[in-house]
Amino acid sequence: MAFSNDDLKLVERFKAGDRRALARLITLLDNHPDSRDLLERLAPPAPGGAVIGITGAPGVGKSTLLGGLIAGLRRRNHRVAVLAVDPESPITGGALLGDRLRMARVAAADEDIFIRSLSSRGVAGGLSASVHAISQLLLRFGYDRVLVETIGVGQAEMAVLRVAEVVVLMVMPGTGDEVQWEKAGLIEVAHLIVINKADHPGVERLEQELIDALSAGQESRVPPILRTVASRDEGVDAVIDNLEEIVSRRPGLNWLQMRTEILQEAEMLLGRRLRELADQDESLDDLARAVALGQRDIYGATEETLRRLLPRLDSQDRPAVRSVTRQ
């Protein structure tokens, strides 16, 4: 899309580390899918960053655990951003507002913590695309741990989990929700399962049910299952240890960043190929003269040039990708 001067100023302020510019760019990304092009104006994120999804039923303790995770990750010198994906329900929405205010107070005191909630508008693809773009923006701002809190029940939330490189499923004893997680396929995608409210009875039984359900699955893969009492900060450090281990162990985790780099590499190659083709293209000289004389407008001339050159991109002998060096 075409960016206004104001948008471009925001990008400059973003690059200078202005958090208010970051907040406004998030709003822009959330409201205008087209604006995702602006990510290409920003340098790719530093390696080592990760987007982590935290999912579980309302009331299981996600926000409480997040508080502990934020503090613990900060102690390990990570810069932490939280995206809370709100459900539309006004009742839980109210509860989340409480969380948000509580968390916002933590964030206000520390520049290295950023918290934002997004409303789930029910459009599965739309929301996940927003969360993807915004996570990428946060990584580029320098937040290297982006935590996405979501109630993993609807289509929209499931889609959101696909943008997270690591998925944590939170459960608690005594609710009998396991069957639901199983049906939703959630326990199968989780890299880590946290049994919160381990101060309640029924922890052993729940753990056994989870192991049984996971072992019965086709892949029969049992991720680490940890116990926490998030309200007393118990077990939170072990959750972080496991998360960090998962993040460091999996080379595939950087795929979001690789996607960006592939596109940038492709852009560079395309530009180079276009210039090569243009060098052999006499009608470009004629067009350029016509534009200079005011006989043609530049946009029409550009379109015409692309229409002429693009089909030729593939038809001539191309330089091998490996011969391309970064300038």
Residues that bind ligand GDP (CB under 6 A): 56, 58-64, 99, 196-197, 199, 229-231
Binder of residue 117, out of ligand GDP, Mg ion, none (CB less than 5 to 8 A by kind): none
- Count the residues of the shown chain that bind Mg ion, applying the rule CB under 5 A: 3
Considering the complex, state which of residue 81 and residue 198 has its C-beta at the smaller distance from ligand GDP. Answer: 198
The distance of closest approach from Cβ of residue 13 to ligand GDP in the complex, given in angstroms and rounded to an integer, is 32
Binder of residue 60, out of Mg ion, ligand GDP, none (CB less than 5 to 8 A by kind): ligand GDP
Q: Which amino acid is at 322?
A: R
Give the other-Cβ count within 10 Å of 254's Cβ: 17
Binder of residue 199, out of Mg ion, ligand GDP, none (CB less than 5 to 8 A by kind): ligand GDP
Q: Is 117 in the site for Mg ion (CB under 5 A)?
A: no
The distance of closest approach from Cβ of residue 112 to ligand GDP in the complex, given in angstroms and rounded to an integer, is 22
Binder of residue 168, out of Mg ion, ligand GDP, none (CB less than 5 to 8 A by kind): none
How open is the CA angle 16-22-25, to the nearest 5 degrees? Answer: 120
Binder of residue 150, out of ligand GDP, Mg ion, none (CB less than 5 to 8 A by kind): none
Considering the complex, state which of residue 10 and residue 243 has its C-beta at the smaller distance from ligand GDP. Answer: 243
4 Cβ contact partners less than 8 Å away, ≥ 6 residues apart: none
DSSP 89: -
The distance of closest approach from Cβ of residue 214 to ligand GDP in the complex, given in angstroms and rounded to an integer, is 22
- Taking every pair of C-alpha atoms in the chain, what is the biggest distance, in angstroms? 83
Region of 13-21, 32-40, 97-105, 114-122 interacting with Mg ion (CB under 5 A): 97-105
The distance of closest approach from Cβ of residue 96 to ligand GDP in the complex, given in angstroms and rounded to an integer, is 7
Q: Is 63 in the site for Mg ion (CB under 5 A)?
A: yes
Rounded Cα distance between 294 and 279, Å, is 23
Binder of residue 126, out of ligand GDP, Mg ion, none (CB less than 5 to 8 A by kind): none
Long-range contacts of 102-110 (CB under 8 A, 24+ apart): 102/63, 102/67, 103/63, 103/66, 103/67, 103/70, 106/67, 106/70, 110/74
Handedness of CA 248, 252, 256, 258 (dihedral sign): positive
Handedness of CA 194, 196, 202, 203 (dihedral sign): positive
Using alpha carbons only, how large is the chain's radius of gyration in Å? 24
Q: Is 257 in the site for Mg ion (CB under 5 A)?
A: no
How open is the CA angle 164-170-174, to the nearest 5 degrees? Answer: 160
Residue ranges in contact with Mg ion by CB under 5 A? 62-63, 99
